Structure 1
Amino acid sequence: MTVSETENTIAIIGMSGRFPGAGHVGQFWDNLKHGQESITFFTDDMLREAGVREDKLHAPNYVKAAPVLTDIDKFDYPFFGMSKREADMLDPQHRLLLMCAWEALEDAGYVADSYEGLISLFAGCGFNNYLVNEILSRKDDFSEEELQMVLQTNSNDYLSTRISYKLNLRGTSVTLQTACSTSLVAVHYACQSLLMYQSDLALAGGASLRIPALEGYMYQEGGIFSPDGHCRAFDAEAKGTIFGSGAGIVALKRLEDALEHRDHIYALIKGSAANNDGSSKVGYTAPSVEGQRRVVTEAMMMAEADPRTIGYIEAHGTGTVLGDPIEIAALQEAFGDTGDKQYCAIGSVKTNIGHLNAASGIAGLIKSVLMLYNKQIPPSLHYHRPNPAIDFKESPFYVNTALTDWAAAAHPRRAGVSSFGIGGTNAHLILEEAPTSPKAGSRMEQVLLLSARTDTALDSMAAALHRHLQLHPELAMEDVAYTLQVGRQAFPYRYAALSGVDGGLKLIGKNKTDKGKAKIIFMFPGQGSQYINMAAGLYEHIPLFRRWADKCFAELNKHLRTDLAPILFGAPEGGANAALLDQTAIAQPLLFVVEYALARCLMDWGLEPHAMIGHSLGEYVAACIAGVISLEDALAIIVKRGELMQQSPGGAMLAVSAPFGEIGGFTDEGIHLSAVNNPGSCTVAGDGEAILRLAARLETAGIGHKLLPVSHAFHSPLMAPVLGPFEQVMQKYKLHAPHIPYISNVTGDYMTEAQVKNPRYWSDHIRETVNFSAGIETLRQSGNLMWLEVGPGKALTQLVHQHGIESLKGNVLNMMRHGKEDESDVSALLKGLSACWLSGADIQWEKLHPALPGRVSLPTYPFEGRRCWIDGKQDSEWVEEQGLATAAGDSEVVRSSADRAHLSTAYVPPADGLQGNLVDIWEQVLGIRPIGIKDDFFELGGHSLLATQLISRLRNLIPEIEIQFDRIFNYPTIEGIAEQIEMQMIEHLESNFH
């Protein structure tokens, strides 16, 4: 698209909605296109159980119907860091919008915590029936402190700001209230905020709940309510609407930004407008032709849209005798006399789900967006013949009564959406279908990541993703992977799967990360691990790896007559290059290039080493990464080192599965200990014939051994001729103290500045035994570690495992495949990175993609709703599902392991009477049980207002002790507070004694 085409245009990039008969947007569309009416007609028994009086049940004008939104009492309060008590008090409209806001952001593929721009929120909700019908009737049960919380949790003043706080939205946060037009007006102001560059991403929408939900209504002749529970918009039989519950939020961006970031775009907002009728109408609650005409005209003007290009209008469409003709009259005046008749379909979502009050506008908007996205127009229900006051035949409009494919035209498909509020605030939007975006494909493997707060939620996520991919085979796996990697927040329970180039999925692993992140150790292998085409796949598919490797090759070409890149990449197994790769002068520079390039990639992707260890040649890579030697100097040194070692007398090396002390009886003179890799094995070096004789003797004795693919006896006295010349080489270079700690092969301890700067150390390093095992033991002292083998194969990974350290399980990983393994280089790397992520590492996945992938709509977080209602009744269905039991008369749900998933402590019961009394107080204030004495008040959902309640109850428990407010923040556990109280009680007794 050109700049002029994107100007003043907003992209809808994410959506979330909960509507009658539909728990999510996909189900909503399915209901719409199949003409589903989501109105519940109640039986008398259902209404009696809900508490409806008998006189109402038998009243002739009592309509036993409502558009019901299920599970309005369910809320995943631990997910949002709330206590059960706070969640019980919170207006369910606020809870609904909080969940919808999270889902809309996820659907857009963004995480607020990592988003660099400003995310704003514009939202509103309906009248708070929960406060009136549920809370105020129990106000005598509340303490003075709890009444303060009632105000905070039930005032619309805090609707948007609470969501912004919970989701970390740092842009404008505004609550709007314009009655029925609230949510569409919110979208209009979100668009204005974006166009004025006050926001970079904006959420907008609204919610409305009827409470009690299972209740009909009294019909009055001439009123706004329908006599039969059906909304018949524009029909001759239309006599009113029916009010229901719902919520929805859209995520918006400027179109140019959405295109630049390759966002998933549902549709475009080309223009929007909002106004008020003023007094130009018969009464405050009456609609106005003039006000509606002006708002539609202004929106079309802002969109620069010819009325003849608009193919659908989602009307306010309340199905009232007065409202419908006024709306059509206003639309006709706004469209003007185009000369064409009945070219624009019209409909109203209220015929499907009723009037959702403050959420009605967002419901109509989401419906229209889905129509443009799917290129279909669903039926408007209950229309048979027009309202006598409407002459559709002489208008641009017709009521669409069947599912119709939306035919393409010379112009983009466009729709208008109206929402008019009682009191006269009107809103209208002009929508346009999303532009087609080019598909960028990648033929390399991808890693799909999922994470959740609980293991059960993680299982639900994995199942939902699997179903979604089966239903949408057209999705590019690179886009799916990118969306999951950068567009989802990371939680403790994690899942990773590898998608092959054929699209098949293979589980990499599932894990629960610990609270503390492991420190990363880089391990660099030495000569003998090389193989033809090692890292060829990384060189081909990972541009960052290729850039570092090419930089190294360019530097090496200054010192070598041979171009090393062709030797390493693109050669068949067993060819001439295989023989070259066995030469020390060739193998060592190539190994250095691969290990250095891979290490630089890992660091750029976020895996910064806490410390490093190399095996022989690998120590040079560690030294270069640590800043001891510059890259240019390191490559020159490695070339010279390889040449000198190549010129030394030939020899052989043998890895033995036994300590050197146990094979003394099998060795000839001239065999030397070359490396101690773990307590139970060693490597020996010496004359080739002597090594072969030793191998034969070990075979007879049943001792494991392996001849290494080297041409010399490294780290043995046979290297003596090299030492003097190499020391002279090292004297030419400036060496620096390491800025990342790494282990010396010679000492098995951390390198010191004196060792680093001594040329003699580097020459001795060639001859001395590699004390790798001691180095591993030294690193172990650093605590929780993650060991990464940064180079070809798994030799060092196996050596670390052979130390038999229980804590190492799952934390020793190789980043490259072994030469004999039948898997791609990219697959091995992604599996290694995924294993790091599964263990809690933060990885900048976006940097692994050669080109910017697109974001796509994927299943959002599966909230695990628990009953949160002020009546104190427990969620018996949830208790039964979890297999839990409660004590007789207990009004609280026993907490499951899933509830404790976000806590850093295991449950510990009180040890004495004081702790027991404190537990009772905490459980009352937080509405959670059981609470352990080591549980953190703030991890349990506590905050400053709840802390005030806690202090008040503590003072009532022990009036002679003054508990200061800040003690809760400094000692946030029952155990800690109990210790403080005991200390103060001792001081109190001592002062009285004296």
Structure 2
Amino acid sequence: MSVDMRALTDDYIAIIGTSCRFPGVSSAAEFWELLKDGRSVVPGKLERVDEFDPSFFGVSPREAAAMDPQQRLALELAWEALEDSGIAPLSLQGRSAGVFVGAMWDDYAMLTHRQAPAAVGQHAMTGLARSIIANRVSYALGLRGPSITVDTGQSSSLVAVHQAAQALRTGECTLALAGGVNLALAPESAERSEKFGGLSPDGECRTFDAQANGYVRGEGGGIVVLKRLSDALADRDRILCVIRGSAVNNDGGGPGLTVPHQAAQEEVIGLACARAGIDPAAVQYVELHGTGTRVGDRIEAAALGTAFGRERPSGNPLRIGSVKTNLGHLEGAAGVAGLIKAVLSIRYRLIPASLNFTEPPADIPLNSLRLRVQTELGPWPREADSLVAGVSSFGMGGTNAHVIVEEAPEGSGLVAEGAGVAPSVVPSVVPWVVSGRGVGALRAQAGRLLSHVGGGVSLVDVGWSLAGRAALEDRAVVVGSSGEELVAGLEALARGESAPGLIAGGAVGGRLAVLFSGQGSQRLGMGRELYERFPVFAEAFDAACVALDAELGAGVGVRGVVFGSEAGLLDRTVFTQAALFAVEVALFRLVESLGVRP
């Protein structure tokens, strides 16, 4: 992003965190591996959608049984996205944070009413209503901003992202969670899709290919965490990507209610580029709606060629691809899946392959449209320029959405592995903090962390990230100066055993207090290492010593006594108490600078 654009940072929206769940994929990191390796999970199903930890979100088991699994999935994705952004979810209670979730099916309600009508009880209305998907997240996290479940058909989740960005720009909220969920649970919804005529009979999605014959239904969901770019920069957030502009429109009287309209698609792309203040020729890649239907692909290609290709040199075609070839069509969550793919592609500066493409049909003249399907993992076409992508999502009723995203501005804290703002001083001993709701959950968290801290991790980065997570009721801290010590402590915690450097217990209610030790705890050199490593400690210690020296008038400075070699001098009461006071004040200022407030 060029410097002259910084004045527009209130209009631009920063993506500071993501989460996603697809068949065989439980994180953005795993999603990138799937994309990078060119793998497909079509026609997979999301496993264990019946499993849920209700107590974690304050939900009773009876109420959880009545909840649409899409609500449960949205809760988990929202929590994980916030943690990915470095925000402890419970820290947002009472804040003006919005939730915008796209969803289009009511399969669980259909199953409940058909198979277990006797189970319809007091929790059925909130458990089965689609509107509650977003509301449940807002309630569980105590968020006071807009809370909206969006249903515009297959474009629902990208429309949700657009609405979230608009709410941030107008000040309706200061942070937003946006995305979508999609679970295909009832045979009836599959039958409707089949009779609609869009499904691939051979179970493959071949976007823009001559053999394209429809889409395959997919399951999963994704959430992105959004802030105004100005706020994200001020908060020193890790910025994954920037939404420069977006637009939503409708086909409105096209050739048919469910037939895509080329002019409307061209219009929504043009509006998004105009709002982003960007020349369409500067867009290097577009993540397609790309269902793999003959009519839909032909119209989308023509619209892209007109909107993006007219001013583009023949030797610089627009790269295009569709995540539906990897995941299938996530329907209400399709748009956010494409958006997260685009974000990851920009973050890692590589464009993954769009699968199952050999050659286009005769009615999609890619060369004359200045389009090229990305058929292998490769670099961006103009890496020297700022990386810019478009993302399209179209609903069967004609509601179209397009989002323009760009790489993060320089100096935003983004690095290749996604590290946040690192501590300015690296300690010699590192704490890893783990918490959970229940001892079993605490041990499980330790086991899960063990699987992620193999060779090559930064001990400080892991500790930094863990410290920003929610502090739940059952807690433990593992302290060590090496990876071996920290891993040994985690292993003991996972087994429910004790170990050196491991402290575990439960949080108790009440206000935080600080206790200063009394005479007898003094020793020569106490605080020296902290003095040398932490300026805030040194400044507070020096200030205390100056004030004490002026009062004592003993001819020997307190700092000289503490850092000296005469234990007998330090053991004299006048110096013992002065030295302990100076060290403890400095210790207090140090922990205060880290956010501890008694």
- Once the two structures are overlaid, the 10-residue window that deviates more, 438-447 or 120-129, is 438-447
SS at match of 2:345: helix
User: Number of paired residues?
Assistant: 569
Structure 2 match to 1:443: 426
Structure 2 match to 1:36: 39
1:524 maps to amino acid:
S
Does the 8 A contact of 2:549 with 2:558 survive in 1? no
Does the 8 A contact of 1:101 with 1:203 survive in 2? yes
Does the 8 A contact of 2:561 with 2:575 survive in 1? no
Match of 1:524 among 514, 517, 522: 517
Structure 2 match to 1:496: 477
Match of 1:168 among 129, 136, 142: 142
Structure 1 match to 2:27: 24
Q: TM-score, normalised by structure 2?
A: 0.87
2:465 maps to amino acid:
T
Provide Cα deviations, 1:78-124, integer angstroms capped at 9, x if missing partner.
Answer: 21222222212111111111111111111112134323742110112
Structure 2 match to 1:233: 207
Return closer, same or farther for 1:503/1:168 CA change in 2, 3 Å cut-off.
farther
Q: What displacement does 1:591 show?
A: 2.9
2:431 maps to amino acid:
V
Whether 1:329 aligns to 2:302 is: yes
Match of 1:247 among 186, 208, 221: 221
The aligned runs of 1:462-481 (5 Å cut-off) are 462-470=446-454, 473=457, 475=458, 477-481=459-463
SS at match of 1:29: helix
Whether 1:512 aligns to 2:501 is: no
Q: What displacement does 1:471 show?
A: 6.2
Q: TM-score, normalised by structure 1?
A: 0.54
Distance in 2, Cα, partners of 1:347 & 1:160: 30
1:299 maps to amino acid:
A
Structure 2 match to 1:536: 528
Match of 1:126 among 101, 104, 114: 104
Whether 1:589 aligns to 2:578 is: yes
1:173 maps to amino acid:
S
Does the 8 A contact of 2:284 with 2:382 survive in 1? no
Distance in 2, Cα, partners of 1:275 & 1:561: 80
Q: What displacement does 1:542 show?
A: 4.2
Q: What displacement does 1:349 show?
A: 0.9
Does the 8 A contact of 2:95 with 2:142 survive in 1? no
Distance in 1, Cα, partners of 2:19 & 2:29: 9
Distance in 2, Cα, partners of 1:105 & 1:288: 37
- Once the two structures are overlaid, the 10-residue window that deviates more, 297-306 or 556-565, is 556-565
Structure 2 match to 1:750: none
Return closer, same or farther for 1:563/1:235 CA change in 2, 3 Å cut-off.
farther
Q: What displacement does 1:478 show?
A: 4.5
Q: What displacement does 1:472 show?
A: 5.8
Whether 1:78 aligns to 2:55 is: yes
Q: What displacement does 1:524 show?
A: 2.9
Provide Cα deviations, 1:788-847, integer angstroms capped at 9, x if missing partner.
Answer: xxxxxxxxxxxxxxxxxxxxxxxxxxxxxxxxxxxxxxxxxxxxxxxxxxxxxxxxx535
Distance in 2, Cα, partners of 1:557 & 1:584: 15
Provide Cα deviations, 1:199-239, integer angstroms capped at 9, x if missing partner.
Answer: 11100011111114799769979921112111110001112
Q: What displacement does 1:510 show?
A: 4.3
Whether 1:135 aligns to 2:110 is: no
SS at match of 1:122: strand
Q: What displacement does 1:481 show?
A: 2.9
1:103 maps to amino acid:
E
SS at match of 1:248: strand
Distance in 2, Cα, partners of 1:600 & 1:254: 32
Return closer, same or farther for 1:206/1:595 CA change in 2, 3 Å cut-off.
closer
1:546 maps to amino acid:
A
Provide Cα deviations, 1:506-538, integer angstroms capped at 9, x if missing partner.
Answer: 743242316555986835322x54332211223
Distance in 2, Cα, partners of 1:221 & 1:171: 40
2:30 maps to amino acid:
Q
Distance in 1, Cα, partners of 2:319 & 2:72: 36
Return closer, same or farther for 1:360/1:335 CA change in 2, 3 Å cut-off.
same
Distance in 1, Cα, partners of 2:88 & 2:483: 29
Distance in 1, Cα, partners of 2:195 & 2:585: 82
Match of 1:564 among 557, 566, 575: 557
Distance in 2, Cα, partners of 1:596 & 1:308: 60
Does the 8 A contact of 1:534 with 1:568 survive in 2? no
SS at match of 1:8: coil
Structure 1 match to 2:464: 482
Distance in 2, Cα, partners of 1:117 & 1:351: 39
Whether 1:846 aligns to 2:592 is: no
Q: What displacement does 1:167 show?
A: 1.6
Return closer, same or farther for 1:339/1:431 CA change in 2, 3 Å cut-off.
closer
Does the 8 A contact of 1:231 with 1:318 survive in 2? yes
2:103 maps to amino acid:
C
1:324 maps to amino acid:
D
Q: What displacement does 1:197 show?
A: 2.0
Does the 8 A contact of 2:562 with 2:570 survive in 1? no
Q: What displacement does 1:290 show?
A: 1.1
The aligned runs of 1:79-94 (5 Å cut-off) are 79-94=56-71
Structure 1 match to 2:11: 8
Does the 8 A contact of 1:125 with 1:156 survive in 2? yes
Distance in 2, Cα, partners of 1:514 & 1:296: 52
Does the 8 A contact of 1:443 with 1:501 survive in 2? no
Distance in 2, Cα, partners of 1:307 & 1:599: 55
Match of 1:367 among 341, 363, 368: 341
SS at match of 1:207: strand
Does the 8 A contact of 1:458 with 1:493 survive in 2? yes
The aligned runs of 1:908-919 (5 Å cut-off) are none
Larger radius of gyration: 1
Does the 8 A contact of 2:40 with 2:327 survive in 1? yes
Return closer, same or farther for 1:459/1:294 CA change in 2, 3 Å cut-off.
same
Does the 8 A contact of 1:375 with 1:407 survive in 2? no
Distance in 2, Cα, partners of 1:366 & 1:227: 28
1:591 maps to amino acid:
L
1:482 maps to amino acid:
W
- Once the two structures are overlaid, the 10-residue window that deviates more, 543-552 or 413-422, is 543-552
SS at match of 1:26: helix
Provide Cα deviations, 1:378-406, integer angstroms capped at 9, x if missing partner.
Answer: 11111111021111112232001111133
- C-alpha RMSD of the superposition: 2.9
Does the 8 A contact of 2:394 with 2:401 survive in 1? yes
Match of 2:259 among 286, 289, 292: 286
Does the 8 A contact of 2:436 with 2:475 survive in 1? yes
Distance in 2, Cα, partners of 1:429 & 1:219: 27
The aligned runs of 1:402-441 (5 Å cut-off) are 402-406=376-380, 409-437=383-411, 440=422, 441=424
Whether 1:455 aligns to 2:439 is: yes
Return closer, same or farther for 1:396/1:133 CA change in 2, 3 Å cut-off.
same
Distance in 2, Cα, partners of 1:219 & 1:515: 53
1:297 maps to amino acid:
G
Distance in 2, Cα, partners of 1:127 & 1:14: 26
Structure 1 match to 2:280: 307
Distance in 2, Cα, partners of 1:212 & 1:550: 70
Return closer, same or farther for 1:583/1:513 CA change in 2, 3 Å cut-off.
closer
**Greater RCO structure (CA 8 Å; 6+ sep):** 2
Return closer, same or farther for 1:410/1:534 CA change in 2, 3 Å cut-off.
same
Does the 8 A contact of 1:553 with 1:563 survive in 2? no
SS at match of 1:251: strand
SS at match of 1:418: strand
Q: What displacement does 1:333 show?
A: 1.6
Does the 8 A contact of 1:10 with 1:254 survive in 2? yes
Structure 2 match to 1:266: 240
- Report the identity percentage: 39
1:79 maps to amino acid:
F
Structure 2 match to 1:388: 362
Does the 8 A contact of 2:438 with 2:474 survive in 1? yes
Return closer, same or farther for 1:567/1:71 CA change in 2, 3 Å cut-off.
same
Q: What displacement does 1:567 show?
A: 0.7
